Amino acid sequence: MEPHPQRYGFDIAARPALPETADDLAALNRDGYVILEDLIDQARCDAIRAETARLLKGGGRNSFEGFNTQRVYNVLAKTRLLDDLIDHPRVLALLDRLFEPNYLLSQAQLINIRPGEAAQRLHFDDGFYKLPRPRAPLGAATIWAIDGFTDINGATVIVPRSHLWGQLPVPADVDAVPCVMPAGSAVFFLGTLWHGGGANRSDASRLAFTGQYCAPWLRQQENFFLEVPRETVRSLRPTIQSLIGYSIYPPFMGMVDSMHPKRLLEA
């Protein structure tokens, strides 16, 4: 049977570029990452930190999560304070130009690296899609500094221009640099860029929020359909509904009973 997705068309179509978009994209293509400074204000960072305190529990389950690192998963079901970060216009302007319409949020989480945490193993985020490198990125990520990132408090470290690498594994003498940036800023990087959480050699925690995105035809890391209750999804704005999968990759990937998944949200 022919599905009827046209009623909703593209949920996320390329919006006009922002004044910063051309420079952001040029840096991204050249280096594999770009730091976007001062996107949210201190009051919002403080509110996120306060909300996070309520949600954080325990430590990581393995060295990749970080035994001394706390993570909050499934944030969309737990708080509305991160929505503006997930679909921030500066972020969407880049995603619009990297991926086909209706690209997806793959996962979103808060990451609190506590004092004494060791450096995370370097990795690239779209590595679980097992297609050979070099290649175009299949995803991209943001890591937001809710606490300012310094060179000793566990700032994300990145390997500039490693998005172009084909060889695996990462060379032993790699030069990883910390993304030093004020609270309220974000580093945006391609899914092919090598990076990791830094060692926290300070005496304070480093709180971050990360949003990972993927092409619209890929499986997301989080299963938002099972994670986020239907009532909560109804209350989200359309951009975020689309990002978590209430959208299609035309003509019909993502359909529900031959129709657009947003129909599930109708009364």
Ligand X SMILES: O=C(O)CCC(=O)C(=O)O
Q: Which residues bind ligand X (CB under 6 A)?
A: 111, 120, 143, 156, 195-197, 208
Residue 156 or 242: the one with the smaller Cβ distance to ligand X is: 156
Give me the least distance between CB of 208 and ligand X, in Å please.
5
**Dihedral of alpha carbons 127, 128, 134, 138, sign:** negative
For the beta carbon of residue 254, count every other beta carbon within 10 angstroms. 18
Residue 218 or 255: the one with the smaller Cβ distance to ligand X is: 218
d(CA 266, CA 82): 25
Give me the least distance between CB of 101 and ligand X, in Å please.
26
Give me the least distance between CB of 130 and ligand X, in Å please.
17
Residue 177 or 256: the one with the smaller Cβ distance to ligand X is: 177
Give me the least distance between CB of 235 and ligand X, in Å please.
28
CA angle 209, 214, 216 (to 5 degrees): 140
Give me the least distance between CB of 198 and ligand X, in Å please.
7
The secondary structure of residue 128, as a DSSP letter, is: G
Residue 176 or 256: the one with the smaller Cβ distance to ligand X is: 176
Q: For the chain, give me the number of helices (H) and strands (E)?
A: 7, 9
Give me the least distance between CB of 260 and ligand X, in Å please.
32
Q: Give the three-state DSSP class for 40.
A: coil
Q: Give the three-state DSSP class for 30.
A: helix
Locus of tokens 């945490």: 117
Residue 197 or 245: the one with the smaller Cβ distance to ligand X is: 197
d(CA 82, CA 108): 9
For 194, how many CA atoms within 13 A lie in the half-sphere containing its CB? Answer: 21
Contact 184, 145 (CB under 8 A): yes
Give me the least distance between CB of 100 and ligand X, in Å please.
24
d(CA 141, CA 84): 15
Residue 16 or 58: the one with the smaller Cβ distance to ligand X is: 58
Residue 142 or 247: the one with the smaller Cβ distance to ligand X is: 142
For the beta carbon of residue 152, count every other beta carbon within 10 angstroms. 16
Q: How many angstroms separate the most distant Cα atoms in the chain?
A: 61
